Structure formats: structure tokens, C-alpha cells
Structure 1
Amino acid sequence: MKHAIARTLTSILHGTLRGLLRAWVLIVPLVVALSVIRWGQLAYFWPQGYKASGSDLLAVAVQGFRFDLKVSAIAGFLLLLVLPWVSFSAQRRLVSGLVLVYVFLGFINLHYFGFYKTPIDSVIFGLFEDDTAAVLQTVWHDFPVLGTLLAVALTTALGIAVHRLILRWVQPDTRWNQRAVVLRLAVVTVAFIALLFAGKGTIRQMALQRQHLTVTTSQFLNDMVPNGVIALKYAWDNRRQSQNLSDPLVGLKALGFESPQAAAQVLGLPSATEAEVRDALYRHDPLPAATPKKNLVFFLMESWSAEPMLYQSPTFDVLGRMAPTLNKACHFSNFESAQPGTHPSLEAILFSSPITPLTMGDAGRKPLPWGVAQVAKQAGYDTLFVTSARSGWRDLNRVLKVQGFDEVIDANNLKADYPEATVGLWGVWDSFVYRYLEKRMAAQPKNKPLFVFVLTATNHPPYDLPADYQRVPLDMAQWKGETSEATLVPNLDTYRYAHDLLGAFVQTVQQGPLKDTTIVAATGDHNVRSFGVYADASRRYLMRQVPFVIWGDKLQCGNQLTQPASHRDMFNTLFPLAGIEGGYVNAGRNLLKPLPAQPDPMNAPRGLFFTGEARNAQGMWQLGNPKSFVCTAAKPPAQCEFNALDDQQERARYGLLDWNVRISLQK
């Protein structure tokens, strides 16, 4: 009996040792493969003329290795459930499959960075919420799919070769001397503890977490630290937290506030009770008596980046008929988008929501009273949503009618009205939107104001244009940005097409009977994908920048045209201008009002990106992360550094917007 028990314990000990050694042998090829991809990514996206210090590159290499070791060790630890007991051949197949998965995620992260200028984030889940077939078709058209698959195969083969080499050296399946029980026990203990610390990513300090991705002052280099596995994990965490609507305080607490009252105090808002805080979020300056209500036509332009406008000239004409309209417009040229994707920005603008996706579940089935369409409707407006895309995308056809739009006109409606329209990958050409708008606005009763929200689609990969459109030659010597993307010129062509049409529409309004009674405004949903990676710190702010332009009769533009601002400020500016008051959340500031002489937290000249980045006149940073601050001022002052008060106020503003959505959906 004793011998049987001893043999059983010895067998268990030997199996455990075999499993631990197999786990460590597994870790090596994973780390090698992930490290190879990281250095390949650095080389692939390294901008021409960009320089980085050796110490910064070393910091990226070391920190990247630590994250590679972390995710590889976690895989090894989880597989301890099977590695001690499977056959040698099954172990090799398991490792080969895992290497393939890690390598595939690494290359997804590589191309995701090339497209979104950031490691994998929660926008990636839109693959399953967009028109998936159209997305995949765009990927096939715009990305080196076959070359990437070949690179995946070669990197996977490298990892498998490394694994087999280490197997021959370590020989984890070799049976140890039956008498070496104490030695085996010691090796098991050391190997297990080492595996735990490898999964933690450190020995003495706290486990590697998201904040440890920042190791240099260069965001470009910091973005090289996460591998595809850890980036996807953090994206999933963000997604899960954003969808956790059961706890209204989860966003506030993540930003360092235990209650909405604590955040309100930072902003100088009334804060005795939660009800008082909510009331303050919806309080606005009263409009002058008898302010007339004007039509408000708002355009969310696909990929309207701010950068090409910097180089606009007669020989580099990227605006067409929009260019002459800007002389009498309010053009806010230091302006951030809310999100890096179309649907996230759409939700951020319509609902002042940092939470996305917000309306694709139950939340989209109940009216959100502070949404801009609901506010306009309550003010007596007819509300219209028009897009050249298909409104079935992201359930917009269902959601928008619940959220206050009387009519939703999409590619299918436009095709019915204009049989000559061709429905392509993302919808019809934008020109049919403008034809419809001119007809619809001319038919609007004069005693009923109209609010129109327009979403364009043509300036989108794969950058196709109508067959009869004459492309305008551009002097690319005028382009001062990065030029590494093959899609740059085709993208500039569709950019010009889209904004030339918008300019023609503005001119039609300004020269017609609606001139005195119509406000036209436009912004971009996000920056263009093909305009570089913005590795240089002085250009980093351009990665988030889109224009915001307002056209109207006798506009007084004020002194904020070049001050940092963002999407959150738009309807705080447009609603008072159109004569709409009350009902909308105090998400930002009125950009047509002069900046206050005394510091005012609710009207400070800052921009906010809803993934958690802010920018002031000096630079930009990730909320709550002083080490992430990058000076982006054109003429940096003597002290260009992180401002803790600015950060605290932006965290409070962001946290209250998050809380407003969550607490409202509790009811």
C-alpha cells in the first residue's frame, strides 16, 4: 500500500514537473515571435526622418519583452491543466496552434496601428457590428492580405522551430532518477514560482498594467510596447466596463472620484446632492428674448481631417468650392474629434456619451431625452437624418427614430428617388445627399424650423469615386505631412470630392432664400487613416484633429477660433446660435463666446478625446497619467509640462458625462 501511494505521488510529481518544463519551453517561442513582430512593426512604420534615442528604444524593448513574457507565461500557466498529461505529439500540435494565434493577433495589431494609429482598442469589435462583409472587402482591397498571411506563416514557422530546438535541449519528458524526489520537488517549486512572477511581469513591484505601457515621451514608441494579445485584452476590458451600466459610478471611480459630488466640486458646480449636480449639468445661460429659431443643418463628414487644410493652395486644392466660403465662416482650426471611429463619434455627438457602443442594446430602445435630436424636436423642429450610407448599419434605422428623428433617409431611399444612383460598397455617392437636401429644404414650411443631421460616406476606403468625376491634379510637393501610405493620393481625391460638394451646398444656401434663416455646420468624424502615424511629438496632436466650421448670416466668431476645443463643444455652440435652449447636457463650452477673463473650469480652452486623452494650449496627455504628457505647442513656453489641475478638471468633466449616461439609464 505504501509503495503504491509513493508511486502515485512520484508520478504526480513527475507529471507536474513535466508540465512546468513544457510550459516554460512553450513560453520561449511565443516571446520570440511577439518580439520579432514588434521590431518588424517599428521598422515598417518608422517615419522618414524620425529620430529616437537609444535609451528610448531600449525602454521599448525591455518593456515590450516584459509584456510578451507576461502574456506567454499566462498561457503557459493556464495550460498546466493539460500539459502534464498530453502526449508529446499532442503537446507539439498545441504549441503550434498557440504560436499561430499569438502571431496572428500580433499582425492584426500591426495593421490596426497602421489604420487607427493606436494599438488594438475597443473599436475593433465594430467588425461584428458594422457591415462585416463590407469591412472585410475593404481590408482585402486596402491591406496586403496575402503578404501578411505569408508573414504570419513565416513567423509562426520561426516560433515552431524555436520550440523544437528548446525541446531537444531541455527534454522535459525525460524521466528523472526515481531517487531525486527532493531535487524534483525543488525544481517544481522554483519553476512554478517563476511562472507566477513571469505572469505578473515583475518581481517586487505591482503587476504590469495598462499604465506601464507608457515608457517614453513619444506616443509612437509607447504604442510599440503592447503586443496584440495584451492590446486585445485591454480593449475587451474597456468594452466590458463601458457596457456595465448597472453601476453608475464605475466611470467616475476609474477616473479617481468616489461620487458625482466630488467631481462637481472640482468644476465649481453645485454639489450638495446628486440631483443638484444633474441640474447643473443641464443649466445654460438664457437666450435673449425673442431669439428666432433658425434651421440647423449639421454635417458629420467621413474622415474630414484637419491636416490637408493646412496645405490648401491653388495648386493643392483639396477643398474645391468650400475654400471661398471659409472667409465668412467660423472655422475652428484647433479641434479634436471625440472618437477614432464613425459610429463612436456619432454617439458621442448625438448623446454627449463617452460610452460606446451605447445604443446597440437596450439603451437604444428608449429615448435619451438629452440627445440632440430629442432636444431639437422638443424645441419645435422637424428632425431629419440623411446619409449616403445604408441606415441598417449599426441599427441606425431603428435607433435614430427612437432617438428623436422624424425621418431617416439613407442610400436605399436615395436610390429610389434617383434611379441613376449606384449603390456601392458603403452606399451611394455623396452628391445624391445634396440633391435630396436642396429639394427637401425648399419644401419645408416656413413656420416650421428644420434640424438636419447628415452623415456622408464617400471619403472612405477603398476611396472610389463616380466614373464621371474628373480628378483634380494636386501638386504633392505642397504636402508637408508623412507620405508613406500608397493610398494618400486616392484619399486626397475623395477628400476633395466630398468637401467640394459641401462647399457647393453652402454656396447654394448663402445665395438662396434660406440665407438668413439657416445655420450650416460641419465637422469630421475622425482623422483620415492614410495621413501618417504622427510619430514626431510636435505633430502628434494632428492625429486627432478635424475641422469644425459654422456658416451663417452675420456670424460673430469671437476669440476662440484657434483655442483647443473638441466635439463636445459643438452643440453647446450651435443650439444657442439656432435659438434652441434647454434640455441638452452641458458637455462643453460655447465657442462663440469670448473666453472668460478669470479661469473657469467649465469654459477652459481644452479639448477632450473620449478614449481618455486631453489637450491644452501646451500639449496633450492621457487622463491621470503625467508621464504621457507631450508638448505640442507651436512655440513651447519655457515650462511646457503636465498641468495637474487641468488633468483633474478634465477627469471630472469626463467622469460626469459618463455618470450622466449611466444614471439616466438606471431609471
Structure 2
Amino acid sequence: MRKILTQILIFTALYMMVFAIMRAVMLSSIIVPNNSNWGGVFLYGLGHDIRTFSAIFLPLFLCGFLSYFSGFIKLNLSKAYQILSSIYLAIISFIVAIFAFINFYYYQIYQNKIDMFIFGLKDDDTTALLSIIWSDYPVILILIIALIFTIFCVWINAKILKIKFKKTNQPLWVLIICNLILLYAYSIALRGHPTYNALRASTYQFSSFKPFNEISTNPIMALSWASKEYKNQAHFPPVKMSRIKELEEILFPIFSTTSPNANHAKTHIHFNLMESFGLGLLQEDERLEKELLGSLYSHFQSDFVFRRFLPSTSGTIDSLNRILFQSPIINLTSSKFQKTKLPFTAIDTYKKAGYKVVFAYAGNAAWYNINYFLKAQGVDEIIDETILISQYPNAKSSKHPYGIKDEYMYNKIFEIFNNATTPTIVISLGISNHPPYLHKGQNELNLDLNNSEINRYATDYKALLNAYSYANNSFGEYINRVKNSKFKDNIIIAATGDHPNREYKFDYKTEIAFGHSVPFYLYIPRNLQHNIYYDKYRIGSHKDIFPTLYNLSLNKTKYLSMGGKNMLSKPSDDRLEFAMHINVWANKDGIYPNSSPNGYKFQNYTTLKNSDEVFNLSDDKAEFHKLYEEFSYSVLALRLGLSVE
């Protein structure tokens, strides 16, 4: 037993040292506010690690107690234990080393601990993701380091197993008490607290500074939390109608109705969801904005643009689900409801109004099973890279792991509208600003960035900015064509980002919300601009996109609003004047990160950047985000027929 305890204690200490070094490196890569309790990262990290490794070493611990009985059954299992424990520790050592690197790079990309987005490796285009990981990260070096660490740990284990302990002459009652104390201490280590299960997924936060909470977690434990959350999303529990009505009274009505509109179902609509179209890269710098927006810059100057705007989530499929289907379930498109027609989606609303619905994607429509799900929702035509390559042979040369250049998708969309004989809505999704950032324009950017600006990027900033600029310019060139077309007065174009660029680090001191922000762009011909109220500093988010489009194109039509508002009508209900992201929400009074018990004031009314002025939250603000998420799922369950009285 003493030899096994020595194994557990030495390797626990060694593994905790590895993760402590990992946390120190992660802390060095972020901007930490003055007087922050960075020591708490290591203290709470210690607690997470003890919980994790006490669970991992539980089989060895139990073997120690079984060794007491080996004399009774006349078996000498020491040789077998030496072999099996060495293999077990070799596997754990390799996993620990690999997860230290995974956690570091995952945080750099997502600004978050390991969460269920990691399962995109399985649900997304696995081959494409693996090729990006291979090209962008030092995979061979990481594997070599992990292998060396594993060999080192096996060597240490061999030394431990050769230790000769003196036989103890303590009375039996002393040994029993010692072992009972040991059992109690181990149970505390497993729970993280003497009386309750501490440091769980729901209680791991200790700081109002989000990075500290994320960095303190143990990556292996975080993966287990993510796995449980991911599996829970496969279950769709029923909801009570009484609770839905209660949430409506607390928050806002589920449904709204559009204003009278004389152009009902006559106007074409194009909604464009742009990959990683974040505002952070522009940093409110006009010189940089002109270069990075390219042809889109002039349209940003002449049309409607909202910059105090948040995406729904930090993932493409998740944001697409919430915008089109009002679904908080990330894997809805591949769930047991993948062939179920969901009422009151954006597709359903426009189909009932008489529109032809087209989905255009510069990638492969098999992504997240989106093609089959969209067909079940009533989409009339699905266009993806396969179709685009067949029609535009040059597109094949631009193929990268996630698809082809956006310009070919825009060419096809223009053709659709140019030949349309009935009102048509096109929902499109570009990919050119997706890693590995291979797409670029004819002329490469030559930006003169200083060291502090370059340090913002977690990857090759030149490739990233060229891809960002190319995607924006391609969209701008498409709008140029539309504005000079025969249908220029009969189309509304809306565009936003699915999420900001994940490989651009934001400053948690001033960019708690701004770091997530994306623009919301609208082109509306002058002949369709009736009763427009435009406040470019109005706060909004993805939930507001289709309520705005409905009110611009449909007449007295009932729609699922979910707190959404028409961004181009005068505010009439303060309850709807908010922006919602899964990590933070905001209203006119300030910014409310999920990880903080406090709110933050804005620097001024023109930006989403926050000041360092903190204020206490009222009960309704403290509970709002949680209630909104519950409301979102409850309404989805209602539409799936999962409500009960």
C-alpha cells in the first residue's frame, strides 16, 4: 500500500506541476488587470487538479487496499501490478502532456476552457479540421515532447517500484485508523470539499475576470464536463406549458406581428452570414478599416450599419441554428429531429409568405447534416461547393479544406436574383475567412503593424488579414453588382458575422463585449425605406436580424420574436433593447458577463467597449441570461411538440 501511495503522490505532484506551468504560460499571453488575484488561478487550479488526479488514480488506490487481502488468497500479484500500473501511468502521462498543449491552443482560439465545441472535430468536417491542425500547430514537436515525458514517467515509476519499505510493527487498531483517515482524505480529494461536491461545471468560477476562471480549470476535467453537456444536448426533455407562460410574463411574449407593409412578399431578400466577420480586427481605425473592408467600405459608409452588435455564440453552426431556427441546441441538425419540420423558423415564415427559399454555401452541404435538415424545413434549392465547381470550373483551384472562394458563391447568388421570377430569399454562408486562411485577393495586403498589434494574433497575421480582407472585398464587389443591376430596387441585403475571428486575442480589461462583436449591415433601396428610424449606436444581436427583415418585407405577419426587435423602428419596448451572446449580454445600462456578479459601464454610448467602472446587479439582471436560455429551449421544445400541461 505504501508503494502505491508513493506512486499516487509523486505522479500527482508531477502532473500538477505540468499544469501549473501550462497556466503560467497561458497567463503570460493575456493582459491582466492591475490588482487582479492571479494567485487564485493556481490555488483553484490546484483544487481542480487534485480532484482530477484523485479520480484518475482511484484504480491504483483500490489496488492498494486489495493488496491487504493477497495473503488470504495466496496470490502474488506484484509482478502483474508492476506491468499494468506502468502501462496505465504511461497512458496517463501521455494524455497529461497532450492535454497541456491542447488546453493552451484551445484557449488561444476560443478564449475559453475546453467546452463542447471541441466535439466539432467529430461533427464538423473531421478531415478538414485535422489538416488545419496539422498545418497550423507543431503537432510533431508536441508528440515528441509528450513521448519524452511519458518515457521519463515510466522511468520514475520503475524507480518507485524498486523501493524497499521496512515492515511496519504498528498494532492492528492503529493501521485500521490510519486507513480510515486515508479513505476519508481520498474522498475529500475526489469531491474537492469535506461536505459537498465542489469545483463542478456549475460552480468552478471564482473570479469576475473570466480568463482566470477558464485557465484555472483542469483540461481533462473540462473535457469530461464538455462531454456531459454534449451528451445532454442529445436529450430533449419536455417542458411544462405553465413554465413557458411564466417565462413569457417575466421576459417578453414569444410571438410578434409585423407592421403593415404594402410591398408584402414582393421584395427579394439576401441574408449573408460571413465567417469570422468580427469588428475587433478593425479596432475603430479608419485607415485599417478601408484596407480590410476593401469594396465593402463604401457600402458601410452609405448603407445601414450597426456596430454595437453581438453574435449569438462563438461557433458557426450554433449561431446559424439560433438565427434560422431559434434553437439553442448545437446539434439539432443531426439530432433525432433532423427530419422534423420546425414551425416558425425564418424559412417557414418566408415560405408561407410565398417566397422561394435558397441556401447557398461555399463549403460542402453535408456539414453538420445541414443539407438534409434544410430540405426537411422546406428549402427549395441547396447550392454548395459541388454545384459551384460544376458551374464555375475555375473554382476548383481555390478549394481549401472548408470550401472554395466566396466569389463563386456570390456569382451564383447574383445569377439567381437576376433570373428570379418570384420573390426569393437566399440564405448564404461564406467560408473564405476560415482557417487555414488560404484565400486572398489579387493584391496582397502590406500592413505595417507594430509589435503590440502583431501580438494580438494567435496565428500568421498576414494570412489571416489577407483572408479577412478578401472575404469582405468579395462581398463588397457583389453588392456593387447588385446596385447596378435590374433588380437593385427590389432587394434587401443583410449581413453579419457568425462570430468574431477566434485567433485575434481581445483585451478583457476593455473588450468584454466588444471582443465578441460583429457588424450588422443592411442595404435597403430608397424606394423601400418607409418609416425608417436609424440609430447606428443602437444595441442589438443576432436575435434582431430576422425581426428586422420581417418588418421590412412582410405585412401583418406573425413571427417568433424571442426578444428580437426591428432595428430600424423606433424603440417601443425597453425589454427588447438588449444584445445576447452565450457568454455576455448588454443593454443601454452596461455589460453583463456570465462569469461576473457585476456589471460594467460603457466607455461611451458609441461603443461596446467597457470602462473599469463596475456596478452591482439587480436580481432581474443577475438572472436574465439564465432565464433567456431556459426560455429559448422551452420555446424550441414547444415547437417540437415536447410541451406538457
The reply to whether residue 652 of structure 1 matches residue 627 of structure 2 is: yes
* Matches for 1:45-194 after TM superposition, within 5 Å: 46-47=28-29, 50-53=32-35, 56-82=37-63, 84=66, 87-156=81-150, 176-177=168-169, 180-194=171-185
Residue in structure 2 matched with residue 39 of structure 1 by the alignment = 21
User: 557-566 or 452-461: which moved more?
Assistant: 557-566
Cα 1:578/1:155, change in 2 over 3 Å: farther
Secondary structure of 1:184's partner?
helix
How far does residue 635 in structure 1 lie from its aligned partner after superposition? 6.6
The reply to whether residue 379 of structure 1 matches residue 360 of structure 2 is: no
Distance of 2:437 and 2:176 partners within structure 1: 63
How far does residue 421 in structure 1 lie from its aligned partner after superposition? 1.7
The reply to whether residue 241 of structure 1 matches residue 232 of structure 2 is: yes
Cα 1:157/1:40, change in 2 over 3 Å: farther
How far does residue 655 in structure 1 lie from its aligned partner after superposition? 1.5
Cα 1:511/1:42, change in 2 over 3 Å: farther
Residue in structure 1 matched with residue 277 of structure 2 by the alignment = 304
Distance of 2:60 and 2:180 partners within structure 1: 17
CA contact (8 A) 2:277 2:501 kept: yes
* Matches for 1:485-524 after TM superposition, within 5 Å: 485-524=458-497
Distance of 1:104 and 1:248 partners within structure 2: 41
CA contact (8 A) 1:312 1:319 kept: no
Residue in structure 2 matched with residue 261 of structure 1 by the alignment = 245
CA contact (8 A) 2:296 2:475 kept: yes
How far does residue 221 in structure 1 lie from its aligned partner after superposition? 1.9
Secondary structure of 2:431's partner?
coil
Residue in structure 1 matched with residue 568 of structure 2 by the alignment = 592
Residue in structure 1 matched with residue 547 of structure 2 by the alignment = 572
CA contact (8 A) 1:30 1:99 kept: no
CA contact (8 A) 2:248 2:254 kept: no
Q: Alpha-carbon deviations, 1:64-118, whole Å to 9, x = none?
A: 1001001111222355455545523322322222232233233222211111111
The reply to whether residue 615 of structure 1 matches residue 586 of structure 2 is: yes
* Matches for 1:196-595 after TM superposition, within 5 Å: 196-204=187-195, 206-248=197-239, 259-267=243-251, 269=252, 280-288=253-261, 291=264, 293-314=266-287, 317-422=291-396, 423-445=399-421, 448-465=422-439, 469-477=442-450, 482-532=455-505, 534-554=506-526, 555=529, 558=533, 560-579=535-554, 582-587=557-562, 588-595=564-571
Distance of 1:631 and 1:88 partners within structure 2: 60
Distance of 1:529 and 1:293 partners within structure 2: 38
Cα 1:232/1:510, change in 2 over 3 Å: same
Amino acid at match of 1:655: E
CA contact (8 A) 2:343 2:639 kept: no
Cα 1:241/1:323, change in 2 over 3 Å: same
Distance of 2:85 and 2:17 partners within structure 1: 23
Distance of 1:305 and 1:338 partners within structure 2: 13
Cα 1:526/1:635, change in 2 over 3 Å: closer
CA contact (8 A) 1:321 1:504 kept: yes
Secondary structure of 1:426's partner?
coil
CA contact (8 A) 1:369 1:583 kept: no
CA contact (8 A) 1:618 1:636 kept: no
Secondary structure of 1:383's partner?
strand
CA contact (8 A) 1:30 1:102 kept: no
How far does residue 504 in structure 1 lie from its aligned partner after superposition? 1.2
Cα 1:478/1:367, change in 2 over 3 Å: farther
CA contact (8 A) 1:483 1:531 kept: yes
Distance of 1:591 and 1:481 partners within structure 2: 35
Secondary structure of 1:299's partner?
strand
Distance of 2:614 and 2:31 partners within structure 1: 27
Residue in structure 1 matched with residue 606 of structure 2 by the alignment = none
Secondary structure of 2:427's partner?
strand
Alignment partner for residue 627 of structure 1, among 593, 597, 600? 597
Cα 1:629/1:154, change in 2 over 3 Å: farther
CA contact (8 A) 2:601 2:610 kept: no
Q: Alpha-carbon deviations, 1:486-525, whole Å to 9, x = none?
A: 4222111010101101111112212222222100011111
Distance of 2:51 and 2:157 partners within structure 1: 18
Amino acid at match of 1:615: A
Amino acid at match of 1:627: P
User: 383-392 or 542-551: which moved more?
Assistant: 542-551
The reply to whether residue 665 of structure 1 matches residue 635 of structure 2 is: no
How far does residue 553 in structure 1 lie from its aligned partner after superposition? 1.5
CA contact (8 A) 2:89 2:153 kept: no
Distance of 1:631 and 1:143 partners within structure 2: 38
Cα 1:26/1:287, change in 2 over 3 Å: farther
Amino acid at match of 2:14: V
Distance of 1:345 and 1:450 partners within structure 2: 23
Distance of 1:293 and 1:479 partners within structure 2: 50
Cα 1:148/1:644, change in 2 over 3 Å: farther
Instruction: Note the aligned Cα RMSD (angstroms).
Output: 2.9
Cα 1:560/1:479, change in 2 over 3 Å: farther
Distance of 1:449 and 1:575 partners within structure 2: 14
Distance of 1:479 and 1:551 partners within structure 2: 35
User: 581-590 or 631-640: which moved more?
Assistant: 631-640
Amino acid at match of 2:551: P
User: 300-309 or 43-52: which moved more?
Assistant: 43-52
Secondary structure of 2:270's partner?
strand
How far does residue 361 in structure 1 lie from its aligned partner after superposition? 2.0
Name the TM-score, length of structure 1 as normaliser. 0.85
**What is the aligned residue count?**
617
